[in-house]
Structure 1
Amino acid sequence: RRVPVTEPEDGKAVSGDSTDDRSPLEPTEDESTADEETTKPPEAKAKTAEPRGPRTEWLDVKDDFHGKIGQATCTAGDQGPKPATPEAVELRALVCETAAARIFTSMLTPNYDKPHFNHLHFEVTPEVKWHLLR
């Protein structure tokens, strides 16, 4: 399963929905100037085009978690992802920050068992005082 990570123009990554408060139906500045852009020859567009809007990347648990069954996750014994690619470090940080927030009572990662090789399992069990992270 892929988790979208949006990187706004300021370079600060956020996961989930865009922080843009415009209506999805409201035209962006880029869309309102689309007619004048289409009148330029292709060569001019290529030379003057600049990246606009948020860039979306994907973190893939199967390909980016880089863990090992039985390895500690987000605790003192966590040696981090191997190899420590930028995607693996970001995904591990998302998992550890979520665990630290104690939003879920149980979180299972690919470090838990083979069936979790490609996804994260988050669960809320009402009226319990324990938290599980594996």
Structure 2
Amino acid sequence: MASVTHFIQNELLQSGQLHGYRMMAVRCKESGLNVRMEDVRIISLYLDPVGVALRRSISIRRRAYYAAGPNFIWHFDDYDKLKPFGLCISGCICGFSRRLIWLNVYHTNNNARVIGGYYLEAVQIHGGCPRFDR
């Protein structure tokens, strides 16, 4: 572990001061050091707390999500990676509760009647439709 700490300390004196712990772990592995990413994170936090705080402050912030209540907004999506094998997956969730409205597999998702059928079936099962669809 002392060799890893020494390596990270040397990297921080050079261009490594701009790297996060993931990139530093890659640099360690490239140098032949077998170390866990979590260990690199802890060592980096100990050796360069100011740099870690600066990098953390500019991380991506997710926007706030708001849904007024159950069935206020439904989110639809399709998964096409299995299309070459004849499997098209279509799903819908409630934006408030994250409850699964439907998840169906069919041989096509390009036909609007198929997706519309899923929607109408869900409206009948849940006793109403959402205010918004996304």
Q: What TM bracket, shorter-length normalisation?
A: under 0.3
The one of the two structures with greater contact order (alpha-carbon pairs below 8 A, sep at least 6) is 1
TM-score by length of 1: 0.24
Larger radius of gyration: 2
Considering fraction of residues, name the structure with more helix. Answer: 2
